Structure 1
Amino acid sequence: MKYFLLFCLCTIQFLHAQDPVQIDSITQLDEVILLDGLKTKNTTGITQSEILGAKIFQNYSPIDMVSAINQLSGIFVFSGALNTNRITIRGIGARTLFGTNKLRMYYNDIPITNGSGSSELEAFDLENLSQIEIIKGPKGTAFGSNLGGAIILNPKQAIGKSTSFVNNFTIGSYNLIKNNLSFNHFDGKFRLGLQYGHTETDGYRDNNNFERDGLLLNTSYLINEKNKISLLINHVDYSAQIPSSLGATAFAENPKQVTYTWRVSQGYEANNYTLLGLNYEHKFSDKLKNSTSVFYNYLDHYEPAPFGILDEFTNGYGLRTRFIGKLNFSNISAEYTFGGELLKDEYNWNQFENLYENNNGNGSLQGDQYAANKEFRRQFNGFGTLLLPFSEVFYAQLGLNINKTNYDYRDQFNTGVNNRSAKRSFKTILLPSLDLNYKFSEDYNLYGNISRGFSNPSLEETLTPDGVINPDISQETGTNIELGSQLYFDNKNLSINIALYQMNIENLLVAERVIDDQYIGKNAGKTKHQGLELALNYRINVSSKIQMTPFLNYTYNHHKFVEFIDEGEDFSGNDLTGVPKNTLTSGLQMQLFDNFYWNTTYQYLGSVPLTDANTLSSDSFNIMNTRIGYQKKISNKFTLGLDLGINNVFDTVYAQSVLINTQGFGGSEPRYYYPGNGINYYSSVKLGYRL
Structure 2
Amino acid sequence: MRKAVRAGRRRRWLAGALLATPAAMPFAAAPAAAWADEATLSDVVVSASRAEQKRFDAPAAIDAVTLDPLASPTPLVNLSEVLGGVPGLSARERQNYAQDLQLAVRGFGSRSTFGVRGVRLLVDGIPATMPDGQGQAATADLANASRIEVLRGPFAALYGNASGGVVQVFSPDPPKDSATARATTGMGSDGQWMAGVSAAGGTGALGASVDAWTFTTDGYRGHSAARRRQLNAKVVAEPAAGTRVTALLNVFSQPLAQDPLGLTRAQADANPRQAIALADQFNTRKQIEQNQGGVVVEHRLGAQDSLSFRLYGGTRQLTQYLGMSGAAPSSAGGIVDIGRSYGGGALSWQHETRLAGLPLQWSAGLEADGMRDARTGYVNQNGTQGALRRDETDRASSLGAYAQFDWTVHPSWRLVGGLRASQVRLSIDDHYITAASPDDSGSATYRRVNPVLGVVWHALDSLNLYANLGRGLETPTLTEVAYGPGGSGANLGLQPSTSRQGELGLKWQRGTQRLEATVFDADSHNEIVPLSSDNGRTTYQNVDGVRRRGLELGWSGRFGPADRFGAALSYTWLDAFFGQAFRNAQGLLVAAGNRLPGTARQSLAAEASVEALPGLVLGAGVRVESRVFADDLNTQAAPAYATFNLRAGYAFRAAGTRWYAYGRLDNLADRRYIGSVIVNESNGRYFEPAPGRRFFIGLRAEI
Structure 2 length-normalised TM: 0.88
Report the CA distance between 1:570 and its aligned residue: 4.8
Are the aligned partners of 1:561 and 1:575 in contact in 2 as well (CA < 8 Å)? Answer: yes
Report the CA distance between 1:241 and its aligned residue: 0.8
Structure 1 length-normalised TM: 0.89
Mean Cα displacement is larger for which, 639-648 or 398-407? 639-648
Whichever residue aligns with residue 155 of structure 1, its letter is: S
Q: Cα gap change, 1:16/1:150 in structure 2, threshold over 3 Å: closer, same or farther?
A: closer
Taking the TM superposition and a 5 Å limit, the aligned residue runs for 1:88-99 are 88-99=104-115
Task: Confirm whether residue 386 of structure 1 aligns to residue 399 of structure 2.
Answer: no
CA distance in 2, matches of 1:467, 1:118: 24
Q: Cα gap change, 1:40/1:615 in structure 2, threshold over 3 Å: closer, same or farther?
A: closer
Task: Confirm whether residue 273 of structure 1 aligns to residue 281 of structure 2.
Answer: no
Which secondary structure state, in structure 1, belongs to the residue aligned with residue 272 of structure 2? coil
Report the CA distance between 1:15 and its aligned residue: 11
In the other structure, the counterpart of 2:72 is 58
Task: Confirm whether residue 483 of structure 1 aligns to residue 504 of structure 2.
Answer: yes
Task: Confirm whether residue 598 of structure 1 aligns to residue 611 of structure 2.
Answer: no
Which secondary structure state, in structure 1, belongs to the residue aligned with residue 111 of structure 2? coil
Taking the TM superposition and a 5 Å limit, the aligned residue runs for 1:131-142 are 131-142=147-158
Report the identity percentage: 17
Report the CA distance between 1:145 and its aligned residue: 5.9
Are the aligned partners of 2:66 and 2:148 in contact in 1 as well (CA < 8 Å)? Answer: yes
Equivalent residue in structure 2 for 1:221, among 237, 243, 255: 237
Report the CA distance between 1:188 and its aligned residue: 3.5
Q: Cα gap change, 1:395/1:200 in structure 2, threshold over 3 Å: closer, same or farther?
A: same
Task: Confirm whether residue 152 of structure 1 aligns to residue 172 of structure 2.
Answer: no
Are the aligned partners of 1:145 and 1:431 in contact in 2 as well (CA < 8 Å)? Answer: no
Equivalent residue in structure 2 for 1:624, among 632, 644, 649: 644
In the other structure, the counterpart of 2:208 is 192
Are the aligned partners of 1:404 and 1:427 in contact in 2 as well (CA < 8 Å)? Answer: yes
Report the CA distance between 1:136 and its aligned residue: 1.1
Are the aligned partners of 2:195 and 2:215 in contact in 1 as well (CA < 8 Å)? Answer: yes
Structure 2: runs of 5 or more not aligned? 1-32, 325-333
Are the aligned partners of 1:59 and 1:68 in contact in 2 as well (CA < 8 Å)? Answer: no
Equivalent residue in structure 1 for 2:602, among 582, 586, 590: 582
Deviations 1:576-596 (A, max 9, x none): 222110000001122233211
Are the aligned partners of 1:192 and 1:217 in contact in 2 as well (CA < 8 Å)? Answer: yes
In the other structure, the counterpart of 1:349 is 375
Mean Cα displacement is larger for which, 234-243 or 139-148? 139-148
Are the aligned partners of 2:508 and 2:516 in contact in 1 as well (CA < 8 Å)? Answer: yes
Are the aligned partners of 1:312 and 1:349 in contact in 2 as well (CA < 8 Å)? Answer: yes
Report the CA distance between 1:320 and its aligned residue: 1.2
Report the CA distance between 1:413 and its aligned residue: 1.4
CA distance in 1, matches of 2:72, 2:552: 23
Task: Confirm whether residue 35 of structure 1 aligns to residue 43 of structure 2.
Answer: yes
Report the CA distance between 1:33 and its aligned residue: 6.7
Whichever residue aligns with residue 480 of structure 1, its letter is: Q
CA distance in 1, matches of 2:460, 2:43: 16
Deviations 1:515-541 (A, max 9, x none): 252211110221111100001112112
Which secondary structure state, in structure 1, belongs to the residue aligned with residue 112 of structure 2? coil
Q: Cα gap change, 1:168/1:41 in structure 2, threshold over 3 Å: closer, same or farther?
A: farther
In the other structure, the counterpart of 1:240 is 257
In the other structure, the counterpart of 1:399 is 418
Deviations 1:588-620 (A, max 9, x none): 122233211112221111101223232332101
Equivalent residue in structure 2 for 1:556, among 570, 573, 585: 573
Q: Cα gap change, 1:260/1:513 in structure 2, threshold over 3 Å: closer, same or farther?
A: farther
CA distance in 1, matches of 2:41, 2:400: 30
CA distance in 2, matches of 1:531, 1:272: 39
CA distance in 2, matches of 1:310, 1:36: 42
Equivalent residue in structure 1 for 2:525, among 481, 489, 506: 506
In the other structure, the counterpart of 2:25 is none
Which secondary structure state, in structure 1, belongs to the residue aligned with residue 337 of structure 2? strand
In the other structure, the counterpart of 1:337 is 363
Which secondary structure state, in structure 2, belongs to the residue aligned with residue 257 of structure 1? coil
Are the aligned partners of 1:33 and 1:53 in contact in 2 as well (CA < 8 Å)? Answer: no
Aligned residues, how many? 648
Report the CA distance between 1:36 and its aligned residue: 6.5
Equivalent residue in structure 1 for 2:101, among 85, 91, 98: 85
CA distance in 2, matches of 1:676, 1:481: 34
Are the aligned partners of 1:309 and 1:352 in contact in 2 as well (CA < 8 Å)? Answer: yes
Are the aligned partners of 1:78 and 1:658 in contact in 2 as well (CA < 8 Å)? Answer: no
Report the CA distance between 1:554 and its aligned residue: 0.2
Q: Cα gap change, 1:687/1:36 in structure 2, threshold over 3 Å: closer, same or farther?
A: closer
Deviations 1:125-148 (A, max 9, x none): 321211111111341354226211
In the other structure, the counterpart of 1:264 is 281
Equivalent residue in structure 2 for 1:520, among 528, 539, 559: 539
CA distance in 1, matches of 2:246, 2:440: 40
CA distance in 1, matches of 2:311, 2:490: 31
Whichever residue aligns with residue 582 of structure 2, its letter is: I
Report the CA distance between 1:416 and its aligned residue: 9.3
Q: Cα gap change, 1:164/1:216 in structure 2, threshold over 3 Å: closer, same or farther?
A: same
CA distance in 2, matches of 1:85, 1:37: 25
Task: Confirm whether residue 571 of structure 1 aligns to residue 579 of structure 2.
Answer: no
Report the CA distance between 1:158 and its aligned residue: 3.3
Report the CA distance between 1:333 and its aligned residue: 2.6
In the other structure, the counterpart of 1:324 is 350
Which secondary structure state, in structure 1, belongs to the residue aligned with residue 564 of structure 2? strand
Whichever residue aligns with residue 365 of structure 2, its letter is: G
In the other structure, the counterpart of 2:682 is 663
CA distance in 1, matches of 2:578, 2:411: 42
In the other structure, the counterpart of 2:5 is none
Q: Cα gap change, 1:39/1:611 in structure 2, threshold over 3 Å: closer, same or farther?
A: closer
In the other structure, the counterpart of 2:689 is 675
Which secondary structure state, in structure 1, belongs to the residue aligned with residue 480 of structure 2? helix
Q: Cα gap change, 1:320/1:233 in structure 2, threshold over 3 Å: closer, same or farther?
A: same
Which secondary structure state, in structure 2, belongs to the residue aligned with residue 258 of structure 1? coil
Task: Confirm whether residue 211 of structure 1 aligns to residue 227 of structure 2.
Answer: yes
CA distance in 2, matches of 1:260, 1:516: 19
CA distance in 2, matches of 1:41, 1:536: 24
CA distance in 2, matches of 1:222, 1:265: 53
Which secondary structure state, in structure 1, belongs to the residue aligned with residue 162 of structure 2? coil
Report the CA distance between 1:512 and its aligned residue: 3.5
Whichever residue aligns with residue 657 of structure 1, its letter is: S
Are the aligned partners of 2:176 and 2:201 in contact in 1 as well (CA < 8 Å)? Answer: no
Whichever residue aligns with residue 588 of structure 1, its letter is: A
Q: Cα gap change, 1:516/1:261 in structure 2, threshold over 3 Å: closer, same or farther?
A: farther
Structure 1: runs of 5 or more not aligned? 1-12, 18-29, 357-363, 665-669
Are the aligned partners of 1:311 and 1:351 in contact in 2 as well (CA < 8 Å)? Answer: yes
Equivalent residue in structure 2 for 1:105, among 106, 116, 121: 121
Deviations 1:641-667 (A, max 9, x none): 211111111111111110233333xxx
In the other structure, the counterpart of 1:251 is 268
CA distance in 2, matches of 1:38, 1:300: 32
Which secondary structure state, in structure 1, belongs to the residue aligned with residue 87 of structure 2? coil
Mean Cα displacement is larger for which, 562-571 or 470-479? 562-571
Equivalent residue in structure 1 for 2:338, among 305, 312, 318: 312
